[in-house]
Copies of this chain bind each other. A is one copy, B any other.
Amino acid sequence: MQKIVRSISTKFRLHQTSFQAVKCLNGQRNNEYKRNNYSFAGNIGVGTILATALYLEWSDDKNAVYAATAPSVQQKHVKEIGKFKENLPFYALEEVGKHTTVESGIWVTYKEGVYDITKFIEGHPGGDQILIAAGSSVEPFWVLYGIHENPHVFDILESYRIGNLNKEDAQHMTADMSDPYSSDPKRHPALKPASAKPFNAECPPSFLVESFYTPNELFYVRNHLPVPEIDPENYELEIYIEGKDKTRVFSLDELKKMPKQTITATIMCAGCRRSEMTKVKPVKGLNWGPAAIGNATWTGVPLREILKLAGVNEDDAKHQHIQFEGVDADVTGKMYGASIPIWKALDKRGDVILAYEMNGVPIPRDHGFPIRVIVPGVVGARNVKWLGKIVVAKDESDSHWQQNDYKGFSPSTDWDTVDFSKSPAIQELPVISAICQPGGGDTVQVQNGRITVKGYAWSGGGQKIVRVDVTADGGKSWHVAKFDHQDSALPPKHWAWTLWSAEIPVENNAKSVEIWAKAVDSCYNTQPESFENIWNLRGVLSNAYHRVRVYLKS
């Protein structure tokens, strides 16, 4: 039995009423993810609710990137929303609680407001997930998924207003609100948040090229949920092989006593550089710049050794995927989850490790303390943090993030036509590069007719960068960059990025130039030229040429 402290759990103890409503709505199926020490306890029947959906991206095309919304505008709306409104009927919470089905109408409350959102269910970007609030307050969920605190979302909600909550119930509801993110760790102020709750942030790109190993404090953070507080003394990792009775359990101490391996690997978010793709046409997703990537050493136990101990046999056709489950949970008790194909986990060239150190120190809380899976060459989303459970399974993880996110689509696929089952979950990432110095809009000193440009390049799947080309004249002349730091690992086991620089000639007396960079990897794959033809509705795989306009001084 695990005894991990979950910061999220106690705070929602008082909201069992809303979960109960959902239970009624969705039947009595037990949540297969429950563990006994969940304090929002018991039979939360979320089985039929669609997997936790686009929490961070509840938006429409006009207002896709919440991180860009000015805080002052948000504040104004925060104050107005859900206030008592004259000429509307009053409802008791008990009455609201009876409206949890389409037939009876689906009602929710926010502060003093009562809303009938029945007609909104289909339009909710987060899917049926919204039903979890049916018959009660949306507030705990909006606190959890802070992205909802957005004027546009408030407008939508207010348009469904049908009444006021009676005074007593309204006071009671409001008193219960608290912030599940309050025990998130302190972050370095250099990390620029793309969203605050959950915390998602990157450092200014110029820092990236200063060190081959990204300092932990500046390493981009991509959290989907509150950061769990885990007591390392009580940490346990469960390993379960589908079809077998026994679950194998490892303590942190046991893991640390096993033969360890250190790899240098770059981890990148699938949405890195999304902010450039957004300029073509809005996408749903955090407004990442080019620094949602970092390179570190990771020390831990090879996953294949753990799996061997647990009796996993690759040739068993029943088991084709390794599912990872974090202990970071949403309010339904559903953990963050993802999976990788079994070949990657068992291949000695796969180098998948259960890491407990990042750059030589225990993995910081934001990066998965005490154990994070490192799946080198593979999208960050599969490098599951706060690892709680490994399932050796026939199928991929059924988590939202494996099934309904982190997939690529054609530029002409929109939210009306998208079918997530038709695209494979992103695993290995394509080749990418970015210019980190100078930044866009910087003024650059021209020396001997040249400017200095620095950046990174990386490719997934263990491919090595073999060339970076840079131009300051729209491709008329390409200059091969010098590699300032590239490790010696051979493909297909080259997991680290390459830092490069180039001295590029610029036209005499030019006031400004646009610099482009593109990389080529050891499969001779190269980047697409522009975003128009790789645009996709989630703004992932944003690896077109990086183009930066800078001003020149002589």
Contacts and interface: CB of A to CB of B under 8 A. Distances in A.
A429 B524 contact: yes
Contacts of A469: 410-412, 533
A526 B430 contact: yes
A42 interface: no
A423 B466 contact: yes
A183 interface: no
A477 B478 CA distance: 31
A524 B408 contact: yes
Number of copies: 2
B427 A522 contact: yes
A530 B477 CA distance: 16
A50 interface: no
Nearest to A493: B343
Nearest to A466: B424
Contact of A428 (B467, B518, B522): B522
Contacts of A480: 410, 412-413
A492 to B, nearest CB: 8
Contacts of A427: 522-523
A217 to B, nearest CB: 30
A282 B428 CA distance: 35
B530 A490 contact: no
Q: Which of A411, A461, A479 has the most CB of B within 10 A?
A: A461
A525 B525 CA distance: 7
A274 to B, nearest CB: 14
A541 interface: yes
A528 interface: yes
A411 B529 contact: no
Nearest to A468: B410
Nearest to A413: B480
B530 A528 contact: no
Given A533-B475, A533-B518, A423 B467 contact: yes
B475 A532 contact: yes
A47 interface: no
A431 interface: yes
A452 B420 CA distance: 26
Given A408-B467, A469-B411, A526 B522 contact: no
Contacts of A526: 430, 528, 534
Contacts of A430: 523-526
A537 to B, nearest CB: 13
A411 B469 CA distance: 9
A341 interface: yes
Contacts of A466: 408, 423-424
A545 to B, nearest CB: 8
A94 interface: no
A526 B423 CA distance: 15
Nearest to A480: B410
A527 interface: yes
Nearest to A461: B523
Nearest to A379: B524
Contacts of A467: 408, 410, 423
A347 interface: yes
Contact of A533 (B424, B431, B461, B529): B529
Nearest to A534: B526
B412 A478 contact: yes
A333 interface: no
A404 B526 CA distance: 22
A535 to B, nearest CB: 9
Contact of A341 (B343, B347, B412, B490): B490
A426 interface: yes
Nearest to A475: B533
Interface string A332-348: 00000000010100010
A548 interface: no
A511 interface: no
A13 interface: no
Interface centre among A479, A518, A528 (most CB of B within 10 A): A528
A167 interface: no
A463 B20 CA distance: 46
A32 to B, nearest CB: 26
Contacts of A460: 523
**Which of A423, A525, A530 has the most C-beta atoms of chain B within 10 angstroms of its own C-beta?**
A525
Given A408-B466, A525-B525, 16 more contacts: A408-B467, A408-B520, A412-B478, A412-B480, A423-B467, A427-B523, A429-B523, A430-B523, A460-B523, A461-B492, A461-B523, A526-B528, A526-B534, A528-B529, A529-B529, A529-B533
Interface of A: 341, 343, 347, 349, 408, 410-413, 423-424, 426-431, 460-461, 466-467, 469, 475, 477-480, 490, 492, 518, 520, 522-530, 532-534, 541
In the A-B complex, the 5 residue pairs with the smallest Cβ-Cβ separation, listed nearest first, are A430-B525, A428-B523, A525-B525, A412-B478, A529-B529
